[in-house]
Amino acid sequence: MWSAECGVRSTGLSFPIPHSPFRIRDIVMASYLIRRVLGFVPVLFLITVISFGIMHLAPGKPTDAAMSFNPKVSLEARQRLEKLYGLDRPLHVQYAQWLSRTARVDFGRSFLDDRPVTEKIVERLPITLTINVCSLLLILGIAIPLGVTAAVRPGRWFDRVSTVFVFIGYSTPSFWLALFCIALFGVTLRWLPISGVHSLDYEAFGSVHRWLDMGWHLILPVGIAAFGGLAGISRFMRSSMVEVLQQDYIRTARAKGLPERRVLFHHGLRNGLLPVITILGLSVPDLIGGAVIAETIFSIPGMGRLFYEAVMARDYPVVMALVTIGGVLTMLGNFFADVAYAYADPRIRVGAAESR
């Protein structure tokens, strides 16, 4: 196990820390995390600039869209609305105001129905998170066994067949697959529901029945959302595992007579999974993108569909909020991936400390 002494030696901290409640590994880890968090600050800033830019690069004034729903709006009312959104101020003042409101999770009101944007997003968040978490679990549940099995005997029939499937999967438009599943399972076979998250008589069900009903409705959307990431991650798992299995410590483990099962899962898989953590963090935008497609096609009232509807209706406060939230979620994903990686692999946090 990773010990404090070892940390002292390899981080170059030659002095002991007397009476400190923290072990050196904690301090190294903490300083690593703080540096990662600071690294996110400029990116966060740029995300807000881009979100803000979307609204202000659009042709016409953003309030035009709000007005077009009501032709009777007078010039006076228009000016009032512009004042409300601060559109009569210089751009940098508008940005500062928007940023300070955004920092307090206040994204203003929707142009469409005048409800607070935050409220609209919060009520749609759970279903999108459910779809994303389920599809992520599905991806891991399929991609890891697939990648490992292919990597154990590279070049043999299972590896070849799975490579072919991965290639085809990688090239298949997921929205087309969704249409196909709707036609096959929904229209022809009538096995699965094809839109929404509840049956029509949902209100009459008991609580267990309600959960089952929702799960029933989510099978196709989750499957489609997972499909997009499956090919890439299983391919990645395979190559990572192939590389690990060529290492000397695997040969050592085999040489000292460990059962193959233990070599594979204890020595091999634990190391082979490490790079996959990073890829998972990086795949958050793809997951969100997959949710947009799945929710739009299956008429699921989640964040992705909200975004599509907001874009179509030029509901800029909602668009800006969702772009910001999408970016922030991705950064959180990357951050947790970094933390998990540094926790799992001491070489990372020490290496990062030494490179300073």
Partner 1 sequence: MPRLFRNRMVLAGGVVLVLLAVVAVFAPWLAPHDPLGVNLADALLPPSAAYPLGTDPLGRDVLSRLIFGTRISLVIGCIAVGISVVVGMAVGALAGFYGGWVDAVLMRLVDTLLSIPTIFLLLAIIAMDPAEQLLQLGRLPLVGGLIAGLLRVVDPQIVILMAAIGLMSWMGVARLVRAEILSLKEREFVLAARVIGCSSWRLITRHLLPNAMAPVLVSATLGVGGAILLESLLSYLGLGVQPPTPSWGNILNEGRVALGVAWWLTLSPGVCILVTVLSFNLLGEGIREWLERQ
206 is a contact residue toward partner 1 (CB under 8 A): no
239 is a contact residue toward partner 1 (CB under 8 A): no
Q: Which of 131, 224, 331, 342 binds partner 1 (CB under 8 A)?
A: 331
Q: Which of 168, 215, 265, 270 binds partner 1 (CB under 8 A)?
A: 168
Q: Which of 289, 301, 346, 351 binds partner 1 (CB under 8 A)?
A: 289
| Cα–Cα distance, 251 to 353 (Å, whole number) | 31
Q: What is the total count of residues that contact partner 1 (CB under 8 A)?
A: 45
Q: How far is the CB of 79 from partner 1 (least distance, A)?
A: 24
309 is a contact residue toward partner 1 (CB under 8 A): no
Q: Which is nearer to partner 1, 54 or 87 (CB)?
A: 54
Q: Which stretch binds partner 1 (CB under 8 A): 14-22, 28-36, 152-160, 162-170?
A: 162-170
* Pattern 332-351, partner 1, x by CB under 8 A: --x-----------------
From residue 8, give the alpha-carbon distance in Å to each of 1, 35, 90: 14, 20, 54
Give the rounded distance of the alpha carbon of 257 from its chain centre. Answer: 41
Q: At what angle do helices 174-181 and 284-297 cross, to 10 degrees?
A: 40
- Cα atoms in the Cβ-side hemisphere of radius 13 Å centred on 286: 20
Nearest to 145 by CA among 216, 237, 69: 237
And the tokens for 114?
A: 């005048």
| Cα–Cα distance, 289 to 294 (Å, whole number) | 9
288 is a contact residue toward partner 1 (CB under 8 A): yes
| Cα–Cα distance, 277 to 288 (Å, whole number) | 17
14-73 positions binding partner 1, by CB under 8 A: 42-43, 46-47, 50, 54, 57-59
130-159 positions binding partner 1, by CB under 8 A: none
Q: Which is nearer to partner 1, 213 or 286 (CB)?
A: 286
Q: Which stretch binds partner 1 (CB under 8 A): 79-87, 102-110, 309-317, 336-344?
A: 309-317
Q: How far is the CB of 103 from partner 1 (least distance, A)?
A: 18
| Cα–Cα distance, 285 to 290 (Å, whole number) | 8
And the tokens for 15?
A: 């002095």
| Cα–Cα distance, 288 to 234 (Å, whole number) | 19
Tokens 């004042």 correspond to 83
* Pattern 256-285, partner 1, x by CB under 8 A: --------------------------x--x
Tokens 């697939």 correspond to 146
Range 93-125 burial, b when 16+ CB lie within 10 A, else e: ebbeebeeebeeeebbbbbbeeeebbebbeebe
* Pattern 171-200, partner 1, x by CB under 8 A: xxx-xxx-xx-xx---xx------------
And the tokens for 90?
A: 């210089």
Give the rounded distance of the alpha carbon of 303 from its chain centre. Answer: 13
Question: Which residues make up the interface to partner 1 (CB under 8 A)?
Answer: 42-43, 46-47, 50, 54, 57-59, 167-168, 170-173, 175-177, 179-180, 182-183, 187-188, 282, 285-286, 288-289, 292-293, 296, 307-308, 311-312, 314, 319, 322-323, 326-327, 330-331, 334
